[in-house]
Amino acid sequence: MREIPRVILLVETSRAFGRELLYGIARYSRSHGPWAFYKETGGLERSISRLKNWGADGIIMRNPKRSDELIAMGLPTILVIHRREEPPGFPRIVTDGPGVARMAADHLLDRGFRRFAYCGFDDMVWSQQRKRAFRERIAEAGFETLVYEQPTSARNRTWEREQPLLAAWLAALPKPVGLFACNDDRAQHVTEACKTAGVHVPEEVAVIGVDNDELVCDLADPPISSVALDTEMAGYHAAELLDRMMRGGDRTACDIMVHPTHIVTRQSTDILAIDDADVAGAIRFIRQNARRAIRVGDVAEAAALSRRVLEKRFRNLLNRSVHEEIRRVRVDQIATMLVETDLPIAEIAYRLGFPGVEHIARYFRKERNISPQDYRKTHGRRFTAHV
């Protein structure tokens, strides 16, 4: 391998998923490189001849229509799986679709929803996988999921033609309903169609997407909640694997998983679909005080109920205790701070009212089966990890 490896990157930058992958690849290159990159801004059809003449050492790419011509070059190659058709025998970057769907389902279940819906892209294999996993998790909880089906005609799938169809489907859904969209783009489609249908978000339809694309989520009205992924870390590991392959290492097919890390809650799911006003108030109190070391007695006092009555009504509605809800919300807060900040774990412990690192570590490990430090190493963003 030459002193400065040449790597072809055919990964889109128009969406957060692609940008985060590239951040991870760049971070590896800065630490272990340097590498020289070829990144095509136009269509691949116009660049095949230039790529062949560039003298590349490796490729990381989505599986585009003419990927066979690049694969025929015989270079170490890692595929970012996107379409149904995928050449066999190559390492792949794959999203944990079932994990994503279950996290989204639990988010809506935790908000007390008893009606659920799914909206995706019918011709995308990853969307179908998320749909199946979401329906399975909702079925485990004892409920069913209503699924939007796209028009079979490609002509009617243009947004101008599909929007009124989606709006009519949304208007007919039983409400309130928690809706999982396959990604943030689709979630934005749903919120726009809700406006057309005169359906209120989140009061009638609570919407959650995937990727935490901040531009898409924050520009939506209302802003969209989303499942965040450790895509940057996957990009780093992909670059690490490609480095070994370019040095003559094993090219055996394997999967680099993109895992969900946490929910970024915005206005589109900022609601409690619980008929019991006292329990809804208790849950709201727990969430508002997630950074304090509150106890069950504090929650009962805030709800103006005895502990016994509150526990019974909590169990009946949510199938978990008040203490379990406090722990769940607190652990979610810890996970968010581990992933989204570079605060030392000792500082996170202090801000959340834990006596020290050992206490927060035991608390977090009991719920997530991993230490805070390892969780940050696995899922952390572009920060220097601190202990």
| Domain spans of the chain, in order of start | 6-95+231-260, 97-228+263-269, 277-379
CATH number for region 277-379: 1.10.10.60
Can you tell me the distance from the alpha carbon of 381 to that of 20, in angstroms, rounded to the nearest whole number?
9
In this chain, the answer to whether the domains covering 6-95+231-260 and 277-379 adopt an identical fold is no
Residue 130, φ and ψ in degrees, nearest 5 = -65, -35
For residue 5, the one-letter residue type is: P
pLDDT in tens, 326-380: 998 999 899 989 988 889 999 999 999 999 999 999 999 998 999 999 988 877 6
Taking residues 262-288, report their average pLDDT.
88
Taking residues 208-228, report their average pLDDT.
95
Q: Can you give the pLDDT at residue 3?
A: 81
For residue 376, the one-letter residue type is: R
**Peptide bond just before 174 cis, omega within 30 deg:** no
Helix (H) or strand (E) holding 10: strand 6-10
For residue 29, the cross-strand partners are none
Q: How confident is the model at residue 319 (pLDDT cuts 50, 70, 90)?
A: confident
- At residue 199, does pLDDT exceed 50? yes
* CATH classification (class only), 6-95+231-260: alpha beta
pTM: 0.81
Q: How confident is the model at residue 193 (pLDDT cuts 50, 70, 90)?
A: very high
pLDDT in tens, 89-124: 789 999 999 999 999 999 999 888 999 999 999 989
- Identify the DSSP state of 44: G
Quote the mean pLDDT of the chain: 88
Residues 6+ apart with CB under 8 A from 55: 6
* CATH classification (class only), 97-228+263-269: alpha beta
Residue 38, φ and ψ in degrees, nearest 5 = -110, 120
Task: Decide: residue 258, CB within 10 A, 0-12 exposed, 13-18 middle, 19+ buried.
Answer: buried
Task: Decide: residue 306, CB within 10 A, 0-12 exposed, 13-18 middle, 19+ buried.
Answer: exposed
Can you tell me the distance from the alpha carbon of 16 to that of 375, in angstroms, rounded to the nearest whole number?
21
